[in-house]
Amino acid sequence: MRKITAIIRREKLEDVKDALELMGIHGMTVSDVKGRGQQMGIRESYRGMDYCVDLLPKVQLEIVVDSEDLERTVEAISENARTGDVGDGKIFVTDVIDVVRIRTGEHGGDAI
Amino acid sequence: MLNSGDTAWMLISTALVILMTVPGVAMFYSGLTKRENVLNTIFLSFVSLGIVSLLWFLFGYGLIFGGDVSGIIGSHQVGISLINLGSASKYAPTIPEGLFAIFQMTFAAITVALISGAVVERIKFSSWILFIPLWFALVYVPVAHWVWGGGFLQNLGVHDFAGGIVVHLTSGIAALALALVTGPRYDQKLMPHHLGYSVIGTGLLWFGWFGFNAGSALSAGSLAVNAMIVTNTSAAAGMIGWILMDRLKTGKPTLLGALSGAVAGLASITPAAGFVDIGASIVTGLVAAVICYLAVSWLKPAAGYDDALDVFGIHGVSGIIGTLGVGLFAVPALNPSLTSGGLLTGSTSLLVSQLIGVVTVTVYTFVVTYLLAMLLMKFKGLRVEREEEIQGLDINLHEETGYRLT
């Protein structure tokens, strides 16, 4: 089992969710985050003073999948989150030791 | 003879109606949009008050209320320097003319602000700034003159107590025309980001509406009292009506539905507040809620226009219902300006003139607004760029954000 952590543009969330749903992947955790990579900040201006805000709002998706679904899931996220501009985000893949469905107590792949 | 009681009340009424625009409408609207557009939505209403306030005393008041040329438009400029603050206008004989002028200004300001609700989340700010003076001059000024300033509709017997035609019908129809030309948003889902703002906005509107309707009595007496009573009653009936519709159609009563129903009730009683009694106001509010509910939940999706915040669906439709309601329910004993009663008293002439008023203003407003929007689109563009619309207007158009959440 693998965990996918994807940090994407806020406005791309719907596209990514729709694409994953088409693939049969429903489970995910979404959080509001802020961060930066290579994207320069945005400018905010109040009463004549300019500020550069360089931690930009993004959305973080966390999804756990079976290893055989990993490649196509990453592909789906990557393609649907892409605009081609700096700031599209990143995907991190990590190993998962166990998954438990709390309602039933199932372990492992069945619990995904 | 100037009366200090009337003057005191009208001073307050003026301030109450300002409150309806700033921040009443602004808050009501901004709670309903996406969080990335909250500031821009508010800004559209605020700037409307700013620009109209200035244009009013430059030429607006004079061209509406300063005399008459062939029933079409006013005849002379009455700038603030020319208004003798100690004398009264024939339209409001017991208060200083300057007060009548600034009271009327607040109506013009809110009419313009209301239109913005149709084109939020995509209109270019500079285009909105241009739209305001042009629409004010080409639509609001003539229509207000026709209905309130001695123009041909008033002479035909059209009765609009506080703005069912002049404010709600014009803003609703203009909103529809502008929304059609501007085109739909990429994301048309109605997912309010902060209904609490809309609650605050509705409360301020309800409170301020007493200035709007009861203030249109232009005096502090029984006519104002009647207006206050029917205004509150229609709002209450509208709220209940919409809650019932929610329960019937989608199963659960919603807070947004209650707010919308109250506004529909308030808007629909506006043209009638000084002409009808409490029984009529219950019917008016209920009917407005039901029909507006259908306008926003059935007509809009069926027809496909993106009147984002239902300016036509609520204000436009309520304005029509209430204006025609005058033709049904008007009671001459309530108001000496009524030469005949409504259909319930056995006379059809008032209903006919109300219908003429509604049709005339609807057609004129739609055509002129549509052409104005087309011209603006051609020479300036009406919409922001796609990326700006998707990312949000606050940061792109104003370099500000409404929230600092993280």
What average pLDDT does range B225-234 have in this prediction? 98
| ipTM of the predicted assembly exceeds 0.85 | no
Å between B258 CA and nearest CA of chain A: 30
Average pLDDT over residues A103-111: 92
User: B380 to chain A nearest CA, in Å?
Assistant: 25
Predicted confidence (pLDDT) per residue in B103-142, tens digit? 999 999 999 999 999 999 999 999 999 999 999 999 999 9
Q: Is residue B404 part of a domain?
A: no
Which residues does chain B have within 8 Å of residue A57's beta carbon, measured at their own beta carbons? 405-406
Cis peptide before B93 (omega within 30 of 0): no
Six token digits for residue B113? 């602000």
A46–B390 CB contact, under 8 Å: no
A33 vs B contacts (CB less than 8 Å): 406
CATH of the domain at A69: 3.30.70.120
Q: Please answer yes or no on whether B395 and A46 come within 8 Å at the CB atom.
A: no
Mean pLDDT over A10-22 rounds to 94
pLDDT band at B405 (very low <50, low <70, confident <90, very high): confident
Interchain pair B406, A57: CB under 8 A: yes
pLDDT at A59 exceeding the cut of 90: yes
What pLDDT is recorded for position B81? 55
In chain B, positions 169-188, which contact chain A (CB-CB < 8 Å)?
Answer: none
- Cβ contact, residue pair B399, A33, below 8 Å: no
**B85: pLDDT strictly greater than 80:** no
Instruction: Compute the count of residue pairs across chains A and B with CB atoms less than 8 Å apart.
Output: 21
Which residue range forms the structural domain that includes residue B79? 4-390
Q: What is the CATH number of the domain that holds B349?
A: 1.10.3430.10
Domain count, chain A: 1
- CA of B399: which chain A residue's CA is closest? A44
Residue B2's pLDDT is what? Answer: 93
Domain that holds residue A43: 2-111
Q: How far apart are CA B79 and CA B88, in angstroms?
A: 15
Spell out which residues of chain B touch residue A44, defining contact as CB-CB under 8 Å. 395, 399-401
How many Å lie between the alpha carbon of B21 and the closest alpha carbon of chain A?
24
Residue B400 lies in a domain: no
For residue B212, pLDDT over 80 is answered with yes
For chain A, positions 51-90, list CB contacts with chain B under 8 A.
Answer: 55, 57
pLDDT over threshold 70, residue B80: no
What one-character DSSP code corresponds to residue B157?
T
B390, B395, B406: residue with CB nearest A32: B406
- Residue B391: its chain A contacts at CB < 8 A? 11
CA distance B239 to A92: 51
Portion of chain B with pLDDT greater than 70, in percent: 97
Q: State the number of CA atoms in the 13 A half-sphere of B155 facing the CB.
A: 11
- Mean pLDDT, residues B202-216 taken together: 98
Average pLDDT estimate for B313-330: 98
Domain count, chain B: 1
**DSSP bridge partners of B106:** none
What are B127-137's pLDDT values in tens digits? 999 999 999 99
In the predicted model, what is the mean pLDDT of chain B?
A: 95
Residue from B397, B313, B297, B323 nearest B117 by CA: B313
B216 domain residue, yes or no: yes
pLDDT of residue B83 exceeding 80: no
Residues in chain B with CB shorter than 8 Å from the CB of A88 are none
**B400 closest CB neighbour out of A32, A45, A57:** A45
Q: In sequence order, which residues have a C-beta less than 8 Å from that of residue B370 and are 6 or more positions away?
A: B177, B180, B181
Q: How far is B74 from chain A (nearest CA, A)?
A: 41
Contact B405 A32 (CB under 8 A): yes
Q: Where are the alpha helices (DSSP H) in B183-277?
A: 195-213, 222-249, 255-269
Which pTM was predicted?
Answer: 0.93
Nearest CA in chain B to A56: B406
Place of tokens 């006013």: B74
> Helix (H, G, I), strand (E, B), or coil: what is residue B284?
helix
Higher pLDDT among residues B74 and A91, named by residue = A91
Q: Starting from the edge strand earliest in sequence, which strands make up the sheet with A56-65, in order? A: A29-35, A56-65, A2-8, A89-95
- Pure H helices in B250-385: 255-269, 278-294, 300-303, 317-329, 349-379
The predicted model gives B357-384 an average pLDDT of 98
Q: Within an 8 Å CB–CB cutoff, is residue B390 touching chain A? A: yes
pLDDT in tens, A24-56: 999 999 999 988 888 888 899 999 999 998 888
Which residue on chain A is closest to B186 by alpha carbon?
A11
